[in-house]
Amino acid sequence: MPFWKASALTTRYDRLKELMDFWSMLLATATIPVVKTHRIRTVSLNFAVGLRYALRPIETVFCGSPINCSPPCSSFVVDLRRDCRDSLAGDVGGKDGLKNLHGGHDSISHVLIASNPYRYVVELDLESVSLPGIQSDNTGYDECIKDCDKAVEKDRKLRPGKEQLEKVSTGSRQERLVLLALLLLCTPSPLMCMCSPQSCDQSVGERGLSLKLTVWIGGNPVEGNVETELESLEIERRVCYLATKGIKITDRLLGEESQKAMEFEFRRRDYGADHESHLLPRSRTQKHPLSSPIASRQHQMKTVRDNDPPDFFDPLRGLDVNASAEDKVEEEEEADTSLSTEAVTQELTKEWKSLKRILIQRFPVSKVISFSPISNVITKGFKVETPSAQSHLEETGSEKTSLEETAKVMDQQEYLAKVRELIDGITKAWEAEDRVTSLKLSIKVTKLLMDTTVLQFYPTVFVVVTDMLDMVGDMVWERIKEKAEHDVDGTIICTLPNDFQASDICLEARETCYNWFCKVGSVRELLPRIYLELAILPCWRFLINQPREVLDRLVMMVRGLADPLASLYCRLYMVHRMQKLGFCRSGYLIKCVKDIEDVLAPILVGKDGCSYITDEKKLLFNLMEPAIEYIMKCLLLTGRQENNVLGILEELGFGRNKSQPSDNSSHVSILLHHLLKALPSEIVSSQAMEILHMIKCSNDCSFSQVLNYRLLGNRLCEGRSQEGFLSSIVNEIMQAASQYQTLYDYLRIMDAYVDLLLQNKMENHLDALLDDIVTLARDKFLSEEEQASLQSIILKLLSHFEDLQKVLSLNHFIEILDLMSGTSKKSVNMHLLSMGTRNGCICDSTTVQLLFEVSQGLYDATDFVNIKDDDNRQTSHLISRFVEMVDYGAERERQLLFLAECRGAFSGIHELKETLVRSSNTLAVKAGKKHINFVKSCLAFSEVTIPSVTVPTKQINLYLETAEVALLGGLISHTDGLVMSAVECLEDVAPTDGLKSIDADSMASVVCNLCSLLVMVPGNPEKGVLEILKSIFSATCSSSWAMSRLKVKILCAIISLLSTLAQDNLPYRSANPEIIGNDLLFFGDSSYKNELVSWSQLVVGELVDAIEQESSQTARGNIALEACNCISSALVMNEKVSQLCLRLLETAKGCLGAADRYLEATKQSLHL
């Protein structure tokens, strides 16, 4: 082993041993007589050498902070000094590891471990060294110098740009010495290789030579120096001898390498050139391709708004549209309808559809229903009788049901099926031109609506029956229209325009039409009579132009229905059909609403005069709600269409209070509620006081007053509220709310006003509100509902303020937070957390403390171990994000401490562990090399944390990341440890989690990732350079999770890695310049290359086996080609390799067929 080479590798324990061996050999074979007068005082070579194993006990002696080296790194110093024997002994003792160093080599007790443990000094007594052959004559020396010249010349050719070296060329002794020194530098040892002399500052004195050199190590210029202090020519010769000997030995070794006819040989790669050649041309662009100019978007918005498509109702823009409609009213007064009739009709048609859906969905029916005899149409079944055989009385359906019939029990679905059957009968009869039967069946079906005994079922029946009625109404309409347009013979008389007049209709058609009304009018029972007339209501247009009287009468007729539910639903249908008739005026609707009020009044009061709510009533109001809502909507829409909303309000009793404040005219709350809901927001804003007063007056059991207060608040939020009276409204509301005494009601009401307060910046009121809450909630355990309301208020506050600080500074906010518990607390906490982490880093320590507590609260409230749902995932995500966002800035230790605290506090959150590791890694990188101890503690933290990550792929990834960080910090021993942990983890995965759903694909990519990392990590000769590779290889081969396809992928990666490692220049290296890659470390080391080659042989063998094992044909073909490509790019195409490739191609051909394009392409690239 050549000395210089060896010295470069002394960073390794075993290399050091080799060095020692060399010296002992040298000493043993010394034949030169000791020359006492001339001696080399010192030759110290101070070079920056990235020392590995920084923290391993045995190597502590090598590393540490630099002492006498200009670059800030560990140094290795070889001191050649005389008379140091004495100083050796004392310091060696105690270092266990060093005993191994010179165990058995007494003659080299010249090894000194200086008192400073970071400096490793090898001392040799040159007086005892005698060099052969130099002593006698000068020829040997001259030859030696010639060699030196040659070497320099060669070097100059190989490394252009070093012209300054040529200046020192001629024969003077000093110059030769310089050359000698340069020669030393130029010997092809890795150490020297990485030092390319840049500037050379020579000072050759009487007794010595000193060269100051700037060298490059890993891309960074580093100062170094070579100093020799010479005393005689003899010594000079010895040095020279050493140098030449070194060269010779190297040459011999290289020769041996070339002689070994390798079966495999790695291709030489020029990564720089490859990169250049494959780089796509790039050009700068001015704007981001995804960004669109804001101006055009605004324009787009404008056009959309201008069009105002009536058929498209965007719920998000709905208010806006209304507002603009209202604006238009204000602007142009002559335009009588701001809402076109069609728009209203269309919207109401839509509403009707959704209403039907709501009715069916909202009131699902219990399974079994008992029916009173009225619905015996259903239970009896039906038969179609011949109409002529019946007397008139029977024909009009005034049959009496016999009372003896017992109620039958029937399934709901069965019931509906029978109804549908009946409805089918209607259409069939109609198609068969048997309209009388059709009508009779319709009457029968309609009679079902008379039965309100099963309240919950009523809406469903209503929907089914009204669908039928709509259908019948349409059929009648079509028939009469047909009659009006066509002759008896079918010839067209005229085509009716949409807005035809009654006078356009021929007598015949009108008579038929009137006949229908007569038929329907002869039904005895009121309810079916009304419904059927409503069904054919549009047909009145054939008879009269202004069906005012008809509608007036119908509105009044409904009053005859005493049952509140039946009458309400009947009114609902009436409103719907009025729309169809196209003659819906607010007057009728107001009458309807008033009638509803009259019907509801006695229910509210109850028989004994006091109003209390029973379950039955509750259900009743519940059932009524959708109908009332629809009617109110319809009323307000009509009102807006007529531009008379205020008029409607007046009709309904608004403003009545203004003139007579004593008049306590109360309204039914449920009506008031839906009226308020349907009112345009402008009206709500302008009439807020009125409305508030009405709500105050109406307090009955049909609807909660609290909710009405709430609704007012919500509606006020929608509109542009005038600030003037807003504060007085809020004052009144707060007064009203506090009268409830219970916190729940108070919270529910005020919840609706929080937004209003926030929007209008009414801080005083907000403070008062928070005060009230604290006062009301003091010393109380909050119920679940109260929690929910409080939660809503808090969330509103949170969403209003951008900055968490502002919320925290609100009066009592923390106090109120403490009131919360359970799920609402959790929800609030989540919002707090997400808000806290929204605006970038969290630097304020009190905020961090608060959020930490919040997180802890969240964590305690969640069972992370047993339950895994979305909610938990969100929580853990939030906490992780919080931890990620915390930034203590320069206080790194504190942050690391915080991370440790988090690890302890949130041990159940798996996601967090990743975050912790990444945060600590980030910290380490940020700290940089200056704070190497901190970096170490960060790494230690990561190393401890990673094993608790459960998902193997994540764990390995984290190991690799941390390893990279360690590498960046120059801590090679850490890197090795982490990489080894990753590999162990990989080994563990395979047997235990084989069948678990580990993502094998991602596992494979992790392994590939590991391979790419290994390019940068210097090999560990202590354990064998390819130790890690071997482990990966064996883990892959034995793994149960890796399918053949993935195995091939990994093996290809290994082959690529081997090929890369064999290159003289690695494609990339660690960002830390102190880390030298394997290319330098093992430069010219034939055993290293041999090992690489032999391993590649092994891997290739395994690869071929893995391909054979793949069961799927296509997959096998593809992986064979993949492997072939990999091999061809990694290895020189000698005979063996090409045979191998051909075999693989054969396999691929067998699997994929000869025409496969991948196969073609591969063949082409191989030039086979």
Partner 1 sequence: MTTVTVKLSRSNRIYRSSEPVEGKIVIKSPNSISHQAIRLSVNGSVNLQVRGGSAGVIESFYGVIKPIQIVKKTIEVRSSGRIPPGTTEIPFSVNLREPGESIAEKFYETFHGTNINIQYLLTADIPRGYLHKPLSATMEFIIESGRVDLPESPLPPEMVIFYITQDTQRHPLLPEIKTGGFRVTGKLATQCSLQDPLSGELTVEASSVPITSIDIHLLRVESIIVGERIVTETSLIQSTQIADGDVCRKMTLPIYVLLPRLLMCPSIFAGPFSVEFKVCITISFKSKLAKAQPKSDPTAPRLWMALERLPLELVRTKRDQFSC
Binding site for partner 1 (CB under 8 A): 392-393, 396, 398, 400, 402-403, 450, 488, 501-503, 508, 510-511, 514, 517-518, 521-522, 524-527, 529, 543-545, 553, 556-557, 559-563, 595, 598-599, 602
Tracing tokens 């063998």 back to the chain, one arrives at 1101
> Closest distance between partner 1 and the C-beta of residue 459, in Å?
19
User: Which two tokens mark 1014?
Assistant: 């290994």
1082: left (phi over 0), alpha (psi -120 to 50) or beta: alpha
What's the half-sphere exposure (Cβ side, CA atoms, 13 Å) at 122? 25
Query: 926: Cβ–Cβ under 8 A, 6 or more apart, which residues?
Result: 892
Nearest residue (CB) to partner 1, 510 versus 1045: 510
Alpha carbon separation from 433 to 377, 815, 824 (Å, rounded): 23, 77, 64
Nearest residue (CB) to partner 1, 267 versus 594: 594
> Closest distance between partner 1 and the C-beta of residue 330, in Å?
39
Decide if 968 contacts 925 (C-beta within 8 A).
Answer: yes
Nearest residue (CB) to partner 1, 545 versus 849: 545
> Closest distance between partner 1 and the C-beta of residue 520, in Å?
9
> Closest distance between partner 1 and the C-beta of residue 826, in Å?
51
> Closest distance between partner 1 and the C-beta of residue 660, in Å?
22
Nearest residue (CB) to partner 1, 525 versus 887: 525
Nearest residue (CB) to partner 1, 513 versus 1061: 513
Decide if 448 contacts 493 (C-beta within 8 A).
Answer: no
Nearest residue (CB) to partner 1, 41 versus 519: 519
Tracing tokens 């019946």 back to the chain, one arrives at 390
625: how many CB neighbours lie within 10 A of its CB? Answer: 18
Residue from 797, 872, 881, 877 nearest 836 by CA: 881
Nearest residue (CB) to partner 1, 589 versus 899: 589
User: Which two tokens mark 218?
Assistant: 């890993």
> Closest distance between partner 1 and the C-beta of residue 522, in Å?
6
Q: Map residue 340 onto helix, strand or coil.
A: coil
Whole-angstrom Cα distance, residue 586 to residue 645? 9
> Closest distance between partner 1 and the C-beta of residue 542, in Å?
9
> Closest distance between partner 1 and the C-beta of residue 570, in Å?
10
Amino acid at 343: A
Query: 506: Cβ–Cβ under 8 A, 6 or more apart, which residues?
Result: 483, 484, 493
Residue from 419, 4, 364, 16 nearest 188 by CA: 4
40: left (phi over 0), alpha (psi -120 to 50) or beta: beta
> Closest distance between partner 1 and the C-beta of residue 386, in Å?
19
98: left (phi over 0), alpha (psi -120 to 50) or beta: alpha
Nearest residue (CB) to partner 1, 404 versus 615: 404
Nearest residue (CB) to partner 1, 149 versus 511: 511
Whole-angstrom Cα distance, residue 430 to residue 971? 92
Residue from 684, 575, 688, 588 nearest 642 by CA: 588
> Closest distance between partner 1 and the C-beta of residue 474, in Å?
22
> Closest distance between partner 1 and the C-beta of residue 521, in Å?
4
Whole-angstrom Cα distance, residue 146 to residue 148? 5
Q: Map residue 559 onto helix, strand or coil.
A: coil
> Closest distance between partner 1 and the C-beta of residue 816, in Å?
50
Alpha carbon separation from 813 to 784, 810, 816, 820 (Å, rounded): 19, 5, 5, 11
Whole-angstrom Cα distance, residue 330 to residue 318? 19
What's the half-sphere exposure (Cβ side, CA atoms, 13 Å) at 1057? 27
Nearest residue (CB) to partner 1, 284 versus 400: 400
Nearest residue (CB) to partner 1, 301 versus 556: 556
Nearest residue (CB) to partner 1, 547 versus 1117: 547
> Closest distance between partner 1 and the C-beta of residue 358, in Å?
27
Residue from 792, 800, 779 nearest 749 by CA: 792
Query: 569: Cβ–Cβ under 8 A, 6 or more apart, which residues?
Result: 449, 458, 459, 462, 627
Nearest residue (CB) to partner 1, 398 versus 742: 398
Decide if 776 contacts 743 (C-beta within 8 A).
Answer: yes
> Closest distance between partner 1 and the C-beta of residue 440, in Å?
16
Nearest residue (CB) to partner 1, 63 versus 523: 523
